[in-house]
């Protein structure tokens, strides 16, 4: 098995900027300028979200630290607590005092509440969702709780990117500089975990959060910077929370969501607010769903050893299990949806499974036991004083499935691989992308519609988003023929009108 | 999807589906009864005895003597209900028609059946399950019979449940809902069973509560009547315990569950996808024809769903449309498909346009118009209408019109003034009479009863929403896959027609957004019409988007009208 020592580390003080025709270019980070190598990214927005751009949620407690506590009468204190922190806190305060009747009765009420909660838990185990720390454990983003950029999603056809920041808002950046950046934010949208643009639509984006999903409709012609919730469809089910992953069908008619405390996966008809549930035994929650680019398969993984691959025509599933303890932390479809790359939580091996047995000479394809094979050893190594490798946090592949990028849990660089499907699935080490000093990568994503090759974007802990293009200059011709992007349609309009 | 395509006519196909659902609902009743007996015979310390007693109760002849009439009624009920799901629903345009449609003989029979089922269900379950309410009559003292009031209460509550369910739920909710994805039937059943039971038990709480109030008020007189009728005595302690009310709630829940289960089975079997044959053959079903059978909505729905599925999933079936006939070399399959799909869209577009223009006119008429000009010049060719609310604005157009008045007065002055006065007098009287009639109509509720309901037509359109969603998605997927799979270029010649029709449909759908009853403010979040309007709208939009995306580069070679191109551009713009 190949290991991380096969990677080439850039010279000291230099960072990798791009890869052009298989050659990695790096530069000293004081002079780093991507435009020196390629102009393919000129029209893309430059994103750097600084702390003062964030609208952090204020809890109203900031002023409290400035004041000294004083002795007030019991009743006054109780009313204050009730106004500021609510009924249960007031009960707790009352119970902690020694006012015999009030304290006793409040203790009694607290006990009753406790038992009611226990009974509810028996009937409906999904209400046990405890809070954002659970999301922090399962989310794809590294250090989800504290990172500025939590999630990046590129629009499938246009130069448009949605970025989730830690203030629970989604910002949408367009290609034109000076254009408005709509900010999607509302009271219901708390602890955003995942976002996805709706295919076959220019305007819709699904935002998965703690309580459900909000599908926003962002009109690009509107001058409103903060669209109101009335433009959105709010989807929620009481027992389906927190939504931790979502995926659109390639045709945009179905939305699949997984929740960390619910072992059913829901398939939504967004407009009609109807659901069908995919439910099989194993696990008390699901943490990741990914639809294959061709739309034939759906990957889902539970929070136990089991993960499944669904056939999207019949909705039957193949059950896969990990050999040892753990769960799948991240996965992605590679090589046009015929192969799956995945890594287990806490494990340092990248596995690959080929699902497409299109080899006509294997007659008894069914009898062959399907097995994933270990592709790459990601054990932490120390090259020239920089540690990298270790457990995997997130894997992403570019839309054509020719490149994959791996974000590690503990070390500070992103590994980029080339994916080869024939003669057998293999990963070829390509480059290591590092940030500036003290920067940690938090999330990665590939641009969905990048004509010149593929382009990885990395969100760093400083709030900077970096582009790492992988360009093939000989692709120039075929790009014009193949991809049908928005600009070619505009030219058609210019001609015919 | 395991249905064979050999079904010859609509009726065969439907009969098959309906008979499965009827059989399943009957069997489910037996299973439910078995489970109930199992629970009432609970004996934790002697599990073997528990099972054997359950078994012996269920297999005894007397039990089956009870069960058979019950099953027969259920059978009759489901057969009568089956018709509702299959036949085209009639939409009533006035409240009065709505009211009349409820008062039919069929509904009356169904009501009776519901009542009978409600009471027999309680009777059957309580007598087989044992307990204090096993029999309506108890032997009190010395060979004299008394009425068991708890049991009496339960049976009356069963009747109440039947009436309540029929009037509240059955009359309102008869449409089939297609699941988002089609899994195997057993899985669907498993997924739905527990939520259905939960929902039934919860939903039976309020009717039980109402019934308790009714019984508290008039219960004694019911019981007295009954006792007098059969010469029964009043027992010494006629106290009804809390236990009876609890039983009542549970039986209410079971009754609801039974009925919901029946509905669920109809839904399950009728919405199961069918693969229609694609070849045009005489005396046989084929997809192209089924797309247009509006008299059998369920067949039409299934055909559209099949089109949607085959366009998405099945390459060999798609190929049937991209091949030429032998001999002759004509694309018959494709031609007939396009013909019927376009016909479907056109009809739908027309329907929407008709209903939207009606409501628009209604709105225009509702705006109070300024009549000064009309009164002065009754023969004015185009009476100038200016809404009252704009009167205080500086209205340029109004100034323009007043300038025109000079010319008009010249024209009008030919008419003798006296005639003019008489005419205006008659008009005034006419208006007064009209006003009085209108006022009477409102006062007597005639408008309320016989007035046209504004959304009836639109509701009718939107109830068929699934058809348009699937047909548009299906045809757009077919067209898109033709780019790679259609080697003869069969689809190309119809591309302009398909795009134009879809654009027209989308434009008609856009008009629905202007109808106030279909906006979120009015409809709230749970309204089916509002949701369906959005679903159809977005599905057609996505279909057009899909075609634009796939053919983007070649679109300027397709002959399309300027308006269509302009619309596509606005749709596709980033």
- Of A286, A130, A278, which is closest to residue A208 (Cα–Cα)? A286
Q: Which residues of B touch A200 (CB under 8 A)?
A: 542, 545-546, 549
Residue with tokens 């009164």: B375
Radius of gyration of chain A (CA): 25
What is the C-alpha separation between B324 and B329, in angstroms, rounded? 5
CB A155 within 8 A of CB A448: yes
> Taking CB atoms and an 8 Å limit, are A492 and B562 in contact across chains?
no
B47-59 helix and B61-86 helix, angle to the nearest 10 degrees: 70
Task: Work out the percent of chain B whose per-residue pLDDT is above 70.
Answer: 83
The alpha-carbon gap from A139 to the nearest alpha carbon of chain B, in Å, equals 27
Residue with tokens 């003798």: B416
User: What is the tens place of the pLDDT at every residue in B434-451?
Assistant: 988 888 777 777 777 777
CB A327 within 8 A of CB A301: yes
Ranges of each domain in chain B: 10-270, 287-361+456-572, 367-443
Q: Looking at chain A, which residue has its C-alpha nearest residue B567?
A: A493
* CB atoms inside a 10 Å sphere around CB B134: 13
- Closest partner residue to A254 (CB to CB) among B180, B538, B546 is B180
- Of A215, A220, A235, A211, which is closest to residue A157 (Cα–Cα)? A220
Element (H, E) at B341: helix B332-366
Q: For B539, phi and psi rounded to 5 degrees?
A: -65, -45
The stretch B394-399 carries a mean pLDDT of 39
- DSSP for A233-297, written as a single string: EEE--TTS-SEEEEEE-TTSS-EEEEETTEEEEEEEETTTTEEEEEE-SS-S-EEEEEE-TTSSE
- Closest partner residue to A200 (CB to CB) among B191, B542, B574 is B542
User: What is the tens place of the pLDDT at every residue in B554-569?
Assistant: 888 888 898 998 898 8
Better-scored residue on pLDDT, A125 or A490: A125
What pLDDT score was predicted for residue A491? 39
Residue A480 reports pLDDT greater than 70: no
> Taking CB atoms and an 8 Å limit, are A271 and B531 in contact across chains?
yes
* CB atoms inside a 10 Å sphere around CB B221: 9
What pLDDT score was predicted for residue B525? 55
* CB atoms inside a 10 Å sphere around CB B319: 15
User: What is the tens place of the pLDDT at every residue in B514-564?
Assistant: 877 777 666 555 578 888 889 999 999 999 999 999 988 888 888 889 899
User: What is the tens place of the pLDDT at every residue in A174-221?
Assistant: 887 667 889 999 988 989 999 999 999 988 999 999 999 999 998 887
Pairing of the two strands A453-460 and A2-3: unpaired
- How many beta-carbon pairs under 8 angstroms link A with B? 99
Residue to substitute from B273, B480, B552, B569, interface A, most A β-carbons within 10 A:
B552
Element (H, E) at B449: helix B446-450
The alpha-carbon gap from B384 to the nearest alpha carbon of chain A, in Å, equals 35
User: What is the tens place of the pLDDT at every residue in B300-358?
Assistant: 999 999 999 999 888 889 998 998 887 788 888 899 999 999 999 999 999 888 888 76
HEC per residue, B247-265 = HHHHHHHHHHHHHHHHHHH
Q: Six-digit token pair at A249?
A: 């069908």
Give this complex's ipTM.
0.84
What is the C-alpha separation between B532 and B121, in angstroms, rounded? 37
The stretch B67-80 carries a mean pLDDT of 85
B465-485 helix and B495-512 helix, angle to the nearest 10 degrees: 150
The alpha-carbon gap from A489 to the nearest alpha carbon of chain B, in Å, equals 5
- Of B533, B542, B536, which is closest to residue B514 (Cα–Cα)? B533
Q: How many CA atoms lie within 13 A of B71 on its CB side?
A: 17
Task: Work out the percent of chain A whose per-residue pLDDT is above 90.
Answer: 35
Model confidence at A101, pLDDT cuts 50, 70, 90, reads confident
- Of A406, A411, A409, which is closest to residue A395 (Cα–Cα)? A406
- Of A12, A6, A1, which is closest to residue A385 (Cα–Cα)? A12
Distances (CA, A) of B29 to B92, B200, B365: 35, 15, 55
Largest CA distance in chain A: 86
CB A459 within 8 A of CB A195: no
> Taking CB atoms and an 8 Å limit, are A315 and B181 in contact across chains?
yes
What is the C-alpha separation between A114 and A107, in angstroms, rounded? 10
Residue with tokens 């039937």: B185
Q: Six-digit token pair at A197?
A: 């643009």
Q: What is the DSSP letter of A86?
A: -
What pLDDT score was predicted for residue A80? 85
Chain mean position to CA B469 = 16
Distances (CA, A) of A137 to A193, A303, A378, B276: 12, 11, 21, 49
Q: For A255, phi and psi rounded to 5 degrees?
A: -125, 130
> Taking CB atoms and an 8 Å limit, are A314 and B532 in contact across chains?
no
Element (H, E) at A215: strand A212-217
Q: Six-digit token pair at B551?
A: 């053919």
Beta bridge partners of A183: A171
Task: Work out the percent of chain B whose per-residue pLDDT is above 90.
Answer: 21
Q: Six-digit token pair at B569?
A: 């551009």
Model confidence at B482, pLDDT cuts 50, 70, 90, reads very high
Ranges of each domain in chain A: 1-39+348-359+370-475, 68-128
Chain mean position to CA B564 = 33
What is the C-alpha separation between B390 and B297, in angstroms, rounded? 47
- Identify how many contiguous H helices and E strands chain B contains and give both numbers: 23, 2
Residue A67 reports pLDDT greater than 90: no
- Of B36, B29, B70, which is closest to residue B54 (Cα–Cα)? B36
- DSSP for B105-161, written as a single string: HHHHHHHHHHHHHHHHHHHHHHHHH-STTS-SEEE-SSS-EEE-HHHHHHHHHHHHH
Residue B384 reports pLDDT greater than 70: no
* CB atoms inside a 10 Å sphere around CB B378: 15
Residue A384 reports pLDDT greater than 50: yes
Q: Which residues of B touch A484 (CB under 8 A)?
A: 549-553
- Closest partner residue to B574 (CB to CB) among A234, A254, A486 is A486
Distances (CA, A) of B46 to B39, B52, B53, B56: 14, 10, 11, 15
Q: For B110, phi and psi rounded to 5 degrees?
A: -65, -40
Q: Looking at chain B, which residue has its C-alpha nearest residue A279?
A: B191
Residue to substitute from B1, B176, B178, B180, interface A, most A β-carbons within 10 A:
B180
Q: Six-digit token pair at A102?
A: 């009030």
Q: Which residues of B touch A202 (CB under 8 A)?
A: 545, 572-574
What pLDDT score was predicted for residue B69? 84
> Touching check for A254 and chain B: CB below 8 Å?
yes
User: What is the tens place of the pLDDT at every residue in A394-435?
Assistant: 999 998 888 999 999 998 889 999 998 877 888 999 999 988
- Apex B272 CA angle, B269 and B274, nearest 5: 125
Q: Looking at chain B, which residue has its C-alpha nearest residue A481?
A: B553
């Amino acid at each position: 098995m190949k290991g991380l020592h096969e990677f080439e580390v850039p010279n000291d003080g230099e960072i990798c900027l791009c890869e052009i025709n298989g050659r990695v270019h790096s530069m000293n980070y004081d002079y780093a300028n991507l435009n020196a190598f390629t102009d393919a990214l000129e029209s893309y927005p430059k994103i750097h979200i600084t702390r003062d751009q964030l609208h952090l949620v204020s809890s109203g407690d900031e002023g409290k630290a400035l004041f000294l506590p004083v002795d007030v009468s019991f009743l006054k204190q109780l009313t204050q607590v009730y106004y500021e922190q609510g009924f249960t806190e007031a009960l707790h305060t009352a119970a902690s005092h020694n006012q015999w009747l009030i304290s006793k009765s409040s203790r009694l009420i607290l006990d009753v509440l406790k038992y009611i909660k226990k009974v509810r838990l028996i009937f409906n185990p999904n209400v046990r969702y405890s809070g954002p720390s659970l999301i922090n454990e399962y989310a794809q983003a590294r250090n989800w709780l504290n990172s500025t950029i939590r999630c990046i999603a590129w629009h499938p056809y246009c130069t448009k990117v949605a970025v989730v920041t830690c203030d629970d808002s989604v910002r949408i950046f367009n290609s034109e500089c000076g254009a408005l950046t709509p900010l999607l934010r509302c009271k219901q949208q708390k602890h955003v975990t995942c976002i996805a643009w709706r295919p076959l639509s220019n305007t819709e984006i699904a935002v998965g959060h703690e309580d459900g999903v909000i599908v926003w409709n962002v009109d690009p012609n509107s001058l409103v910077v903060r669209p109101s919730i009335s433009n959105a469809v709010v989807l929620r089910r009481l027992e389906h929370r927190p939504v931790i992953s979502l995926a659109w069908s390639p045709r945009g008619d179905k939305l699949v969501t997984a929740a960390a405390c619910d072992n059913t996966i829901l398939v939504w008809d967004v407009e009609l607010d109807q659901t069908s549930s995919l439910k099989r035994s194993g696990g008390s929650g699901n943490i990741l769903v990914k639809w294959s680019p061709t739309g034939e398969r759906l990957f889902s993984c539970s929070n136990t050893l089991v993960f499944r691959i669904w056939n999207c025509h019949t909705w039957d599933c193949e059950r896969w299990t990990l050999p040892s303890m753990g769960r799948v932390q991240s996965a992605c479809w590679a090589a046009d949806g015929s192969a799956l790359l995945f890594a287990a939580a806490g494990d340092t091996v990248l596995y690959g499974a080929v699902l497409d047995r299109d080899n006509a000479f294997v007659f008894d394809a069914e009898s062959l036991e399907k097995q994933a094979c270990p592709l790459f050893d990601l054990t932490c190594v120390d090259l020239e004083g920089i540690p990298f490798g270790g457990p995997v946090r997130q894997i992403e592949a570019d839309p054509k499935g020719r490149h994959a990028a791996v974000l590690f849990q503990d070390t500070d660089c992103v590994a980029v691989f080339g994916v080869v499907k024939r003669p057998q699935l293999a990963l070829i080490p390509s480059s290591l992308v590092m940030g500036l000093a003290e920067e940690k990568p938090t999330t990665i994503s590939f641009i969905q519609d990048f004509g010149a090759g593929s382009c990885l974007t990395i969100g760093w802990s400083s709030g900077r988003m970096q582009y790492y293009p992988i360009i093939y200059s000989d692709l120039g011709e075929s790009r014009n023929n193949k991809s049908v992007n928005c600009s070619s349609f505009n030219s058609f309009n210019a001609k015919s009108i | 999807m395991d249905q064979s395509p050999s079904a010859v006519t609509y009726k065969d196909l439907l009969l098959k589906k309906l008979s499965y659902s009827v059989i399943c609902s009957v069997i489910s009743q037996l299973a439910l009864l078995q489970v109930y007996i199992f629970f009432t015979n609970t004996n934790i310390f002697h599990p073997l005895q528990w099972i054997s007693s359950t078994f012996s109760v269920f297999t005894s002849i007397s039990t089956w003597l009870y069960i058979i009439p019950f099953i027969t009624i259920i059978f009759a009920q489901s057969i009568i209900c089956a018709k509702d799901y299959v036949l085209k629903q009639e939409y009533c345009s006035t409240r009065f028609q709505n009211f009349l449609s409820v008062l039919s003989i069929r509904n009356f029979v169904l009501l009776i059946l519901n009542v009978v089922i409600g009471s027999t269900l309680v009777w059957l379950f309580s007598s087989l399950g044992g307990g204090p309410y096993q029999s309506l009559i108890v032997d009190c003292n010395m060979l004299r019979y008394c009425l068991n009031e708890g049991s009496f209460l339960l049976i009356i509550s069963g009747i109440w449940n039947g009436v309540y369910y029929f009037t509240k739920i059955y009359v309102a909710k008869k449409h089939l809902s297609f699941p988002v994805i089609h899994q195997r039937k057993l899985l669907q059943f498993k997924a739905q069973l527990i939520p259905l039971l939960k929902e039934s038990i919860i939903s039976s709480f309020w009717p039980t509560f109402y019934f308790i109030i009714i019984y508290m008020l008039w219960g004694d007189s019911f019981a007295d009547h009954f006792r007098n009728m059969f010469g029964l005595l009043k027992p010494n302690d006629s106290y009804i315990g809390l236990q009876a009310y609890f039983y009542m709630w549970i039986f209410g829940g079971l009754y609801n569950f039974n009925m919901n289960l029946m509905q669920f089975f109809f839904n399950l079997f009728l919405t199961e996808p069918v693969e229609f044959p694609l070849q045009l053959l005489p005396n046989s079903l084929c997809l192209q024809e089924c797309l247009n059978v509006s008299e059998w909505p369920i067949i039409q729905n299934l055909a559209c769903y099949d089109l949607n599925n085959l366009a998405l999933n099945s390459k060999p079936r798609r190929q049937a449309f991209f091949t030429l006939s032998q001999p002759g070399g004509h694309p018959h399959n494709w031609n007939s498909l396009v013909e019927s799909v376009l016909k479907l869209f056109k009809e739908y577009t027309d329907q929407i346009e008709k209903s939207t223009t009606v409501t628009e006119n209604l709105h225009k008429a509702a705006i109070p118009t300024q009549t000064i000009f009309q009164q002065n010049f009754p023969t004015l060719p185009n009476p100038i209408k200016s809404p009252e609310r704009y009167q205080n604005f500086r209205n340029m157009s109004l100034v323009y019109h007043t300038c025109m008045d000079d010319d008009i007065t010249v024209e009008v002055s030919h008419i003798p003034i006296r005639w003019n006065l008489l005419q205006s007098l008659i008009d005034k009287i006419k208006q007064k009479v009209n006003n009085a009639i209108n006022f009477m109509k409102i006062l007597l509720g005639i408008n309320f009863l016989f007035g046209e309901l504004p959304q009836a037509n639109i509701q009718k359109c939107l109830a068929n929403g699934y058809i348009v969603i699937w047909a548009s998605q299906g045809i757009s997927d077919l067209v898109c896959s033709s780019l790679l799979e259609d080697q003869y270029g069969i689809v190309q010649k119809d591309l302009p027609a398909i795009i134009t029709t879809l654009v027209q449909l989308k434009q008609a759908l856009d008009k629905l957004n202007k109808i106030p009853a279909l906006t979120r403010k009015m409809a709230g979040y749970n309204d089916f019409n509002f949701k369906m309007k959005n679903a159809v709208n977005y599905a057609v939009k996505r279909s057009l988007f899909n075609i634009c995306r796939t053919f983007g580069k070649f679109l300027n070679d397709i002959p399309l009208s300027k308006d269509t191109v302009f619309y596509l551009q606005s749709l596709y713009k980033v």
